[in-house]
Amino acid sequence: MPHSRMSEAPQARPPSNGKPPWEAKRPPRGRGLLRRLMTLLIVAGLIALVVQAMRPRPIEVEVGVVKPGPLTVFVSEEGKTRIRNRYIVAAPVGGSMQRVSLKPGDAVKAGETILTRIEPSMAPLLDTRSKAQAQARVDAATASRSRAQEALEMARTGLKYAQSNWDRIKTNTDKGTISETDRDTFEREAEMKSREVRASEFALQVADFELVQTKAALLQLEKPSESGAVIELKAPVNGLVLRVQQESATIIAPGAPILEIGDPTDLEIEAEILSRDAVNIQPDAEVTIEQWGGAPAPGRVRRIEPAAFTKVSALGVEEQRVLVLSDFKEQTPALKALGDRYRVEVRVAVWKSNETLLVPAGALFRVGSEWKTFLFNSGKAKTVTVEAGRTDGKLTQVLSGLEEGDEVLLHPPDSVADGSEVVKR
C-alpha cells in the first residue's frame, strides 16, 4: 500500500537571541522605571498645588505709624449769624401812622431817613397825670443819654490805653522780648476795645433818638391846639432795614414796634452748645466757621453766657444748652455776603496740645470697656491694649500701650485676629 505523505505545519523558530517570545515584547526595564518616576512627580505636584491652594494667604492691610504731633479737639455744632447791635423802632406816641414805604434791605441814615409819620388821631387828653408821665419819660431818656455818654467815654479811655499798649508792642521787633501769644493778646485787646467804642456810639445815638421822641410827645401834650402836628419818625442809626413789623397804615399804640434796623457788616455767631461741652470752652478759644457757602473762616469765642436753657432735640430728648458767642477774626470780602440769621457750622476748640503721641483713630476698636489695636509685628497681627485720651475723630491721643514708631493696622477686616498673617497693601 502506498505510503501517503502528510504535510507538516511549520513550527515557530525561537528568536535568535535565545529569549522566549513573551520576553521579547517587554519594554526595557529602565524605560518603565522612568515612566513610574514621572507619574509620581506629576501626582506629587498636583498634591502640592492643592495644599498650597488650601493654605490661608496673608491678609492685605493698611498700616499707620504712631508718632507725636499737635492735637486740637473741637466741638461741632450748628450756629447762625446775627447782627451785634440791632434796634427796634417803636412808636413814641399813639396816633394814626402812615404806611411804611421802606423794605427789608433798604439803607437808612441816622437823623435823615424818615421811616414813617404819625398824626394825632384825636385831641389828646390834657390832664396832670398824662403830662407828668410824659415829663418822666423825658427825664428817663435824658438820664439814659447821660449814661450812654459816660459809657462812651469809658470805652474811649479803654481803647486809648489798649491802643497805646499795642503800638508799643508793635514797634518792639527785638526777638525774644515778647511771645507771639502776648502780641496776639494785645492786638486782640485793641480790636475788642475798638468794637466797644463802636457799640457805645451806637447806644448814644439810640439814646439821643429816644430823647427827641419823648420831648416830641411832651410837646404834643403841652400844645393840644396843634391838632394838625405830625411827628416824623426818623432813623436812629445808620444801617439797613432788617424787618418791617408794621407796614400798613393803622392806628398805633405807644411803644408798638414798627421796624428793625441794624448794621449787617457787624456780625457775630451764636451757637447753642451742650452744657457738658460748654464747661470746657474758654473765652478767646479758637473757632472755625464752616458750611456758610465759602472757605472756612477763623474766629474766636467772645462770650459764654452763664445761663443755660432747655431745648428739645429732633429725637424728643430734652437737652441743656448754652449760647456761645463768637467773632470773626477778620472781615474778608467773601464774608460780606453773609446776613442776619444765616446758618453756619462752628467748630469750637475745647482742648489743645502742641505735641502728644498720636495714633490714627481708624486703628482703634472697642472690646468691652477697653480700646485695642492690631500691631504689625514681622508680618503678623498682634493685639495690644491701648489707653486712649482725647480725639478729634481722625487722630487719638495715646496715653499708654504704644510707642513712637509702632505700626498699627488701619481699619482691619473681621478676618484679622491675633496672630494672623498680614501683608502691607
Instruction: Tell me the pLDDT tens digit for each residue of 351-388.
Output: 989 999 999 999 999 998 899 999 998 888 999 999 99
- The total of other beta-carbon atoms located within 10 Å of residue 309's CB is 12
- The total of other beta-carbon atoms located within 10 Å of residue 81's CB is 21
In Å, how far are 57, 134, 423 from 62, measured between CA atoms? 16, 79, 9
Supply the CATH classification number for the domain 74-81+265-350.
2.40.30.170
Burial label for 175, CB within 10 Å (0-12, 13-18, 19+), is exposed
Per-residue confidence at 58, pLDDT binned at 50, 70, 90?
A: confident
- What whole-number distance in Å separates Cα of residue 341 and Cα of residue 333? 19
- What whole-number distance in Å separates Cα of residue 107 and Cα of residue 239? 6
Strand partners, 375: 382, 408
How high is the pLDDT of residue 308?
94
pTM of the model: 0.57
Whether the pLDDT of residue 7 is over 50: the answer is no
**Span of 91-95, 316-320, 387-391, 403-407 with lowest mean pLDDT:** 91-95
Q: Does domain 60-71+354-424 have CATH number 2.130.10.10?
A: no
Q: With contact defined as beta carbons under 8 Å apart, do 258 and 100 qualify? A: yes
- What whole-number distance in Å separates Cα of residue 97 and Cα of residue 253? 10
Q: With contact defined as beta carbons under 8 Å apart, do 324 and 74 qualify? A: no
Name the residue ranges covered by the structural domains of the chain: 60-71+354-424, 74-81+265-350, 87-262
Apex 188 CA angle, 273 and 338, nearest 5? 55
Burial call 184-197: b when 16+ CB within 10 Å, e when fewer: ebbebbbbbbebbb
Whether the pLDDT of residue 158 is over 70: the answer is yes
Whether the pLDDT of residue 118 is over 60: the answer is yes
pLDDT in tens, 294-340: 999 999 999 999 999 999 988 889 999 999 999 999 888 888 889 88
Per-residue confidence at 2, pLDDT binned at 50, 70, 90?
A: very low
Length of the chain: 425
Average pLDDT over residues 100-126: 82
Q: What cell does 221 get?
A: 401834650
Q: What cell does 148 get?
A: 450812654
Q: With contact defined as beta carbons under 8 Å apart, do 213 and 92 qualify? A: yes
